[in-house]
Structure 1
Amino acid sequence: MEGETVDDGSAPSKREPIRRCLATGARRPREELIRFVLGPDATPVPDLAAKLPGRGMWLSADAGSIKTALDRKLFAKAARKAVTPVPDLAARVEHLLVRRCVELLSLARRAGEAVCGFEKVRAALSSGSVNGDGGVLIQASDGAADGRGKLSALTRGDIPVVALLTADEIGEAFGRDASVHAVVMPGGLGRAFLLEAGRLKGFRGTDPM
């Protein structure tokens, strides 16, 4: 059902990469949207990995689209049945996206593909080993502007910068209380992190990426 706002729950196909947002009608690659299915209690359940069984309903990855879907009862219209509203649905999706970002960063750290701390990040960026093919500079949204600016300058605009996680959230991925700066080396984990960060951006304001 290419381009539709719902799907029948079958396995994804390479021929069906596009879905349409229930709220806005925008057609986007499925990895940029959020899939929802109805749970046993008829509440919309976020399916970030797009793997849960059931009829899928797609929304743009931002709080406004979720609010519109709830206010206009679009889940019920798409499912063609009564749906139990979830007032804090956008907050739940944001929390799940943060968890996915932290988990991916932790995986990259355990695989030896990520480091944190100002000096280690500066050394990685200065070495030329980080590039735009999955490499990413991560800066805490609540970190000092001076340090963030110095490291961002080293990217020369060629490496994505994500400033959506807090210092505590970045620190959690590295097994420490807090960390303001981190970098992920080029590769699949970096690309996966960027996809999730792209979706998280719709819930955490306008910090640069």
Structure 2
Amino acid sequence: MARRAETSRMCALTRVEKPVAELIRFVLSPDGVLVPDTEAKAEGRGVWISINRDLLVEAIKKKVFARSLKTEVTLPEDLPGLTELRLQQRYLNALGMARKAGQLTFGATKVRGLITTGGLIALITATDAADDGRSKMVGPLKALHYGAAEEGIDGFDVPHFELLSSEQMGLALGMENVIHAALTRGAAAQAAVEKARRLALFIAKPTETDTGRAAVDGDLLPEEQDERREIHG
């Protein structure tokens, strides 16, 4: 039971319990301003929201934070934008750590080689990459997944992330531009994959389950939502 409490929380908007990897925590700063606690380590009472921009916008609109914290809440001018920026920074910092650990490879030729041998754990493409260059990476990656499925390899997954521009990645990594990159096996690279997944979840469209539950429960006070769940199971 204790382990479950450590690894899952309830989204204050949808009232759905999820792994913490699919949520983001918000806390009040010392001056009373709500801020994203992307590391989930800040002191004080926090509010967990599904890690998605559209759902965060909905939570703001429906005053979920004030209801959950039972106090007046001051919001920054652009909380969704600030949250995305923090998630980007965490991702870029993780890429930097992976590079220092020798677990990040650059360049189309080297990346294609890793795809061919299956020596990568994630493919990274700049959002402004040319279509032909992107297809030369995505095609072999699909073939890699197909081959794993044919061989009956369960759980094989090499994600493809297109989250930042070549300039954004280049500046963070001390290079002119980064178009194609690959993360190879190692703890630092795995940490970068996890940060990338969180950023990808934030900018993606919410699932039908999330939007449906939010539409049903989002206008109710927490105590009314609890009562509703007791009635309907």
Q: Is the 8 A contact 1:105 1:114 kept in 2?
A: yes
Q: Name the stretch that deviates more: 156-165 or 69-78.
A: 156-165
Q: Does 1:143 align with 2:129?
A: yes
Q: Deviations over 1:28-82 (max 9, x none)?
A: 1012211111112221111111111000110111111211221111111111111
Q: Match for residue 8 of structure 1?
A: none
Aligned residue for 1:87, secondary structure, equals coil
TM-score relative to the length of structure 1: 0.84
Q: Match for residue 187 of structure 1?
A: 186
Q: Match for residue 152 of structure 1?
A: 138
Q: Is the 8 A contact 1:41 1:84 kept in 2?
A: no
Q: Name the stretch that deviates more: 30-39 or 165-174.
A: 165-174
2-side partners of 1:21 and 1:191: how far apart? Answer: 26
Q: Is the 8 A contact 2:166 2:179 kept in 1?
A: yes
Q: Deviations over 1:101-136 (max 9, x none)?
A: 111111111111111111121122223322xxxx10
Q: Is the 8 A contact 2:125 2:181 kept in 1?
A: yes
Matched AA of 2:193: L
Q: Is the 8 A contact 1:102 1:172 kept in 2?
A: no
Shift in alpha-carbon separation, 1:161–1:29, aligned structure 2, 3 A: same
Q: Match for residue 3 of structure 2?
A: 14
Q: 1:205 Cα deviation (Å)?
A: 4.5
- Counterpart among 75, 91, 94 of residue 101 in structure 1: 91
Q: Match for residue 109 of structure 2?
A: 119
Shift in alpha-carbon separation, 1:26–1:142, aligned structure 2, 3 A: farther
Identity percentage of aligned residues: 36
Q: Relative CO higher for 1 or 2, CA cutoff 8 Å, sep ≥ 6?
A: 2
Corresponding residue pairs, total: 191
TM-score relative to the length of structure 2: 0.76
1-side partners of 2:203 and 2:61: how far apart? Answer: 21
Q: Is the 8 A contact 1:32 1:198 kept in 2?
A: no
Q: 1:185 Cα deviation (Å)?
A: 0.4
Q: Is the 8 A contact 1:37 1:47 kept in 2?
A: yes
Q: Does 1:80 align with 2:70?
A: yes
Q: 1:33-112 alignment to 2 at 5 Å? A: 33-112=23-102
Q: 1:198 Cα deviation (Å)?
A: 2.0
Aligned residue for 1:49, secondary structure, equals coil
Matched AA of 2:138: S
Gaps of 5+ in 2: 146-156, 206-233
Q: Does 1:24 align with 2:17?
A: no
Bigger Rg, which one: 2
Matched AA of 2:110: K
Aligned residue for 1:28, secondary structure, equals strand
Q: Deviations over 1:122-153 (max 9, x none)?
A: 122223322xxxx1000011111111111122
Q: 1:160 Cα deviation (Å)?
A: 1.0
2-side partners of 1:29 and 1:76: how far apart? Answer: 23
Normalized per residue, the structure richer in helix is 2
Q: Is the 8 A contact 1:32 1:195 kept in 2?
A: no
Aligned residue for 1:15, secondary structure, equals helix
Q: Is the 8 A contact 1:136 1:186 kept in 2?
A: no
1-side partners of 2:188 and 2:80: how far apart? Answer: 25
Matched AA of 1:140: A
